[in-house]
A and B are shown apart, each in its own frame.
Chain A
Amino acid sequence: MLEKRLIGVITVKDGWAVQSIGYRRHRPLGRPEVIAENLDRWGVDEILLQCIDRDAQGGGPDLALLERLCRRGLSTPLVYAGGVRSVSDGVRAVQAGAERIGIDALLHDDPHLAAELAEPLGAQALIAVLPLSVHNGALAWLDHRSRLSTPLAPALLDVLASGAISEVLLVDWQHEGVHEGFDERLLALWPMPTQPLIAFGGLSEPSQLRGVLERPNVVAAAVGNFLNHREHAVQRLKQSLAGLPLRAATHAPLDPARAWS
């Protein structure tokens, strides 16, 4: 049976892994590759590496970071997001080691170009990253560069309906870093009931994660900041989510040779 996923998010700014609060404030955490290796050891279902300053720097994906991370040979699938502006950017990110890529700014600028990424990579390798909030009872879609929100563009919804992009990462950007902050209205107001969704932003408690993962069209929940506050954060969350169709927690032995003795 296909299981739902717990995704560990690593947010990177200026090459440094950070805690991100409300898409505005940042606190340094450490080196992205050390955090990735830790999430790998903890047995998270996927790792999302999101580089949040690439568009501002106009530099495309951070291939050097991606290569440095992947060189350590992670045994967990990796999603890369940040600065993918073109088909070749997307292909390069996958060549550098990402299983899948997330697209954000490109969906505002040219959603049909974003859809073209499905040709070389396949729709299964594409995720639409949508920072959303609720404004006057309707969904508002943030462009993080201008910090302006607008209604969801028809062109975006068309591209999603065409099946060119497999999953949507719904980011509650206002409640990012807020304990128990995730606003479930974002899921309730989402207009496409058959579109697979990943919930992200202010998910810190098992009860919230359970509520979100019980929804049929939610395939995964992503947690960023809150995975850095305690030892074995992933295993603890998974243990408290027993009963959901989620892969069970593991405690990898220190010495891999012990795994088959």
Chain B
Amino acid sequence: MAALMHCRRCLYTSAHPLGLMLDAEGICSGCRVHEEKDRLDWAERWQRLESLLAPYRSRSGETYDCIVPVSGAGDSHYIVHLVKQRLGLNPLLVTYNKYFNTSLGIRNLANLRIRFDCDLIQQNVNPHAVKKITRATLRDFGSDYWHCLAGQTVFPVQTAVRYRIPLILWGAHQGLEQVGMYSHEDEVEMTRRHRQDHDLMGREADDLPTMFDTLKESDIWQYRYPDDAALSAIGVRGVYLGNYVRWDPKAQHEQMIERCGYRTAAFARTFDTYDHVDCWNYMDLHDVLKLHKHGYSKVTDHACREIRHGRLTRAQGLALVRRHEQAAPQHLDKFCEWLGLDRSGLGFLLDRHRNPRWWREAETGRWAFAGASTTAGEAAGVTMPPASAVFEANDVLAHDGIDGYITIGKGHP
């Protein structure tokens, strides 16, 4: 196995699951692409976006110009603000029900729909299929999230085909933002190949029944990508606004908090309070699995982003990572109850997915961690982030006092 290489500027390593290239100066492909954010003429790029979108504007006003995939977190508020208010498009919002929903996420999603006065359709795959799939993916490749990733990435494409709306507008491209998979100037668009390779960890819907005896076609067909002929006939295209707008999630969220009523919550496992507030698992069970499998977790993604935006030094980022990444998960019981697992069974699965490259069982039940942060160098002494990098929460995940998975929310007009 090749030696682990660290980027000298951010905290990513050559073991990044999306791939990471380091150049002769020891700077990673992600940092190099990030440099473009301060070099490109964003006014010119906005014009390019306007030209690209022009043919998709409906003249009649009786149809949707585009589809925008949304959730009760992420950059959804900002994306809808751009699409509706700055670009003047008429979007159809689509969302996939992850089942792990917090009441804050339900509230934010309602806020999104109401505040921006948009139409929204939601896909709820039946719970029996979702649980069957999740049991299989969790056991076999340590993924509690396959159904979420599959559903979130395919439902917008299926909707585009079914409703004959060719244009799908996404926010930022994760591969570009994290590891510099593409230059902004490549103007990369959505592809089935990228979804299969990265979002779905190589396993498309039709691969699952082959892998798992428990799954049949009737359990997975909802996650199947539309075929090439259908995509081509409609002219489906997925465009990333992040190629045309200088993407800065912290600044964008703060704008949405201030002007559009977006609400946020704190997490034990990271210092960012703006994203992932719609899910009980993402910054909890899912994040622990990430640490076990990949030797780093979401707080590193947040730190790298803030380092690249110049709001944290590398040493400050490392201090925050070390402070948060071993925080204990708090919501495993909810997951166990939902899936019908017992706690020790889940614990066993979690341990099974510890990658020996990062974990050593020092004594029974006690694990020594040798992940990325342990060889990343010197951390800053002070563990509080500087003022520019502070994230504040104005709510809690259990908004409305409801502490549990909410499949379908009520009480929002």
Contact = CB atoms under 8 A, between A and B. Distances in A.
Nearest to A28: B19
Given A27-B183, A34-B202, A251-B232, A229 B237 contact: no
A13 B19 CA distance: 11
Contacts of A18: 19, 21
A232 B231 contact: yes
A148 to B, nearest CB: 17
A189 interface: no
Interface string B166-202: 0000000001000111110111111111101110001
A34 B185 CA distance: 24
Interface in B229-266: 229, 231-232, 236-238
B184 to A, nearest CB: 12
B337 interface: no
Interface string A13-37: 1101011000001111111001100
A235 B401 CA distance: 53
Nearest to B19: A28
B228 interface: yes
Given A19-B182, A231-B237, A28 B20 contact: yes
Interface string B185-225: 11111111110111000100000000000000000000011
A255 B32 CA distance: 41
B21 A26 contact: yes
A41 B202 contact: no
A230 interface: yes
Given A16-B19, A25-B23, A28-B20, A230 B227 contact: no
B231 A231 contact: yes
A253 B197 contact: no
A61 to B, nearest CB: 19
A63 B316 CA distance: 44
Contact of B33 (A27, A42, A230): A27
Q: How large is the interface on A (under 10, 10 to 19, 20 to 34, 35 or more residues)?
A: 20 to 34
Nearest to B176: A27
A244 interface: no
Interface in B1-56: 2, 14, 16, 18-21, 23, 29, 32-33
A28 B21 contact: yes
Interface in A221-261: 225, 228-232, 235, 251-255
Given A13-B21, A232-B228, A232-B231, A27 B190 contact: no
A229 B193 contact: no
A75 interface: no
Given A34-B197, A231-B192, A254-B227, A27 B180 contact: yes
Nearest to B179: A28
A26 B23 CA distance: 8
Given A27-B33, A28-B181, A30-B194, A229 B231 contact: no
Contacts of B198: 30
30 contacts: A14-B2, A14-B14, A16-B21, A27-B33, A27-B182, A28-B18, A28-B19, A28-B21, A28-B29, A28-B180, A29-B181, A30-B18, A30-B193, A34-B196, A34-B197, A38-B196, A228-B182, A228-B188, A228-B193, A229-B182, A229-B188, A229-B189, A231-B190, A231-B191, A231-B192, A231-B231, A231-B236, A232-B228, A251-B228, A251-B229
Interface of B: 2, 14, 16, 18-21, 23, 29, 32-33, 175, 179-183, 185-194, 196-198, 202, 224-225, 227-229, 231-232, 236-238
